[in-house]
């Protein structure tokens, strides 16, 4: 395996569980305040932060399919990448992924191991 691919794999294996553990338990709930992202920083710092956050998210989304051989890890990596990124329709896609039983179970297992409350997921609309 090439060194670059190995580094990418290690980053994905470490970043995805960390990102899932750091999420607020109510991240997926519809009434959550989503206005805090870099809002009160200097514009240069805000844009730099947003760009870096989206680049890391895109990297995780690209690496996710590579990790699909590991139970739950690939989907968690994709979910962590999506959480970091900003794009239209993001919340609906995140909900679709996190509602997969294997993904929610793996995410809450990681959160429990790191001492965090389980993720709250709203009921499906009927």
Give the pLDDT score at 116: 93
Asked whether the beta carbons of 54 and 84 are under 8 A apart, the reply is yes
pLDDT averaged over every residue in the chain: 82
How far apart are alpha carbons 99 and 101 in whole angstroms? Answer: 6
Q: Quick one: how far is CA 88 from the chain centroid? A: 16
Q: What is the pLDDT of residues 66-82, one digit of tens each?
A: 877 765 578 888 888 88
Asked whether the beta carbons of 62 and 78 are under 8 A apart, the reply is no
Q: What is the pLDDT of residues 80-91, one digit of tens each?
A: 888 888 889 988
> Which tokens sit at 10?
């290690």
Mean pLDDT of 26-43: 77
């Amino acid at each position: 395996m090439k060194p670059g691919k190995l580094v990418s794999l290690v980053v994905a294996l470490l970043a995805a569980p960390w990102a899932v553990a750091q999420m607020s338990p109510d991240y997926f709930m519809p009434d959550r305040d989503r206005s805090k992202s870099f809002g009160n920083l200097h514009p240069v710092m805000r844009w730099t932060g947003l760009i870096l956050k989206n680049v890391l998210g895109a990297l995780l989304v690209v690496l996710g399919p590579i990790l699909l051989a590991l139970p739950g890890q690939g989907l968690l990596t994709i979910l962590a990448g999506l959480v970091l990124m900003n794009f239209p329709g993001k919340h609906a896609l995140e909900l679709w992924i996190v509602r997969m039983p294997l993904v929610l179970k793996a995410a809450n297992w990681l959160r429990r191991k790191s001492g965090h409350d389980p993720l709250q997921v709203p009921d499906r609309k009927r």
